[in-house]
Structure 1
Amino acid sequence: MRVLVVEDDARMASMLRRGLTEDGYSVDVASDGFDALWRASEVEYDSVVLDLMLPGIDGLEVCRRLREAGRWAPVLMLTARSGIEDRVSGLDSGADDYLAKPFSFAELSARLRALVRRGSTARPAVLAAGDLGLDPSTRQAWRGKVSLDLSGKEFALLELFLRRLDEVLSRPVILEHVWDFAYDGVSNVVDQHVASLRRKIDRPFGVQQLETIRGAGYRLRAQPLSLPT
């Protein structure tokens, strides 16, 4: 297995190279974003360990460009920022997982093994369910030919539902993915934002696609149901 480590801190890069080599990986190291993009264009890596803060172009931009170029090797992003918005930004750029600094090498190794097992299957740039669509890279959403004006949280909610179509998502699961752990599970913040999202993606179009599953949570159907007129 061949891994690309993108890290500008020489000591950190050396530690990662040594540890991953001992784990049996073949390791290449890039010290900036431009070098990373060049290496990834020349070699089919099995995974990429990518620092967020890099000279030149940062890790978010590197990840976006990799995905735009059709490079789908799993990306584990390293960041000194642990806020939910930073994590969402990393995942929106195309990263598969994130790890906040400081971290233990054992955890990094375990996360990397999980990503490598998952493989590098190509993922669509646009998420869609019926005529409802969303493009994470451009932050645009639409129903048919109508552009949807969504808040940041509404966009994150819709992306979560589109990635997990026909799956009932409980309130705690939604909180974990869209907010942070400071909210408790009895808060009605999820209900309020789901209701707001439904008012924008369903009601104006006379359809029902975002459903409330009583006692369980919410589900986005793969295809909308027409409401009686």
Structure 2
Amino acid sequence: MHPDKRIRILLADDEPNILQFLELGLLGEGYDVHTAQDGEEALQAAREFKPHVAILDVMMPEKSGFEVCKSLKESGDKIAVIMLTAKDEVTDRIRGLTLGADDYMAKPFSFDELLARIQARLRNQFPDLLGAVTYGPFRIDDRKNEIMYMERVLELSPTEYDLLKFLVINHGAVLGKTTILDKVWSYDFGGENNIVEVYIRSLREKLGDKEHRLIRTLRGVGYRVDLP
């Protein structure tokens, strides 16, 4: 899959902090994201944006997440719906699933769990979207956990794979060590942040990036991948 055909995700929640947190996280994972703060806005966005996945808060103004879910499923468009709620009540879950929701998550939840739920829906409903993605000389294939550079498969550890994927997907952006630790090593990482330097050094060796032209260091700021 070429990056201009990225997986599209619609986020609908009337809590700005949650909306911003999820949007930034999903953008960082390489998804194309559109947000809405009420049910009517969500439906309008769905008609124009044509998302593959809709993540809907149950309690929204104008139209509830339940109403939006029902409309989306009746539209005839192929879409996976994940419902979010502030309370984990069986009656709410049953109602959402009865209206066609594909999954259900109670707040608070971990971002990693949400990613796993999104991937599960995509594998189930849009398996063709999870092919290889090309970024310049890089080709990332999550099905094989494989990254190719200049037509050569890189021998990477799981952490090296996650780090290089994160850097490449966010090419052109400056990524600080704290951000990298949060996204690659997770928020509960308790080690030293010089672990990032160690892994960057290893990646440069495997990429033949001796002059640091591919993975650039911006002293005191972070790292940036520059693609030709």
TM-score, scaled to structure 1: 0.51
Preserved contact between residue 72 and residue 120 of structure 1 (Cα < 8 Å): no
Shift of 1:118: 1.3
Return the match for 1:46 from 30, 45, 52.
52
Return the match for 2:8 from 2, 5, 10.
2
Shift of 1:43: 2.4
Equivalent in the alignment of 1:14 = 20
Preserved contact between residue 12 and residue 38 of structure 2 (Cα < 8 Å): yes
Equivalent in the alignment of 1:80 = 86
Show structure 1 runs of 4+ deviating over 3 A.
none
TM-score, scaled to structure 2: 0.51
2:121 partner SS: helix
Aligned length: 121
Percent identical among aligned pairs is: 44
Note the aligned Cα RMSD (angstroms): 1.4
- In structure 2, C-alpha distance between the alignment counterparts of 1:53 and 1:10, rounded to whole Å: 14
Preserved contact between residue 33 and residue 59 of structure 1 (Cα < 8 Å): yes
- In structure 2, C-alpha distance between the alignment counterparts of 1:39 and 1:50, rounded to whole Å: 12
1:12-37 deviation digits (Å, cap 9, x = unpaired): 00000011011110110011100111
- In structure 2, C-alpha distance between the alignment counterparts of 1:29 and 1:37, rounded to whole Å: 11
Shift of 1:72: 2.8
Preserved contact between residue 34 and residue 56 of structure 1 (Cα < 8 Å): yes
Query: 5+ unaligned residues in a row in structure 1: which ranges?
Result: 122-229
Return the match for 1:113 from 92, 114, 119.
119
Query: 5+ unaligned residues in a row in structure 2: which ranges?
Result: 1-6, 128-228
- In structure 1, C-alpha distance between the alignment counterparts of 2:126 and 2:29, rounded to whole Å: 20
Equivalent in the alignment of 2:73 = 67
Preserved contact between residue 84 and residue 107 of structure 2 (Cα < 8 Å): yes
Letter aligned with residue 52 of structure 1: V
- In structure 2, C-alpha distance between the alignment counterparts of 1:21 and 1:43, rounded to whole Å: 15
Equivalent in the alignment of 1:103 = 109
Shift of 1:44: 1.9
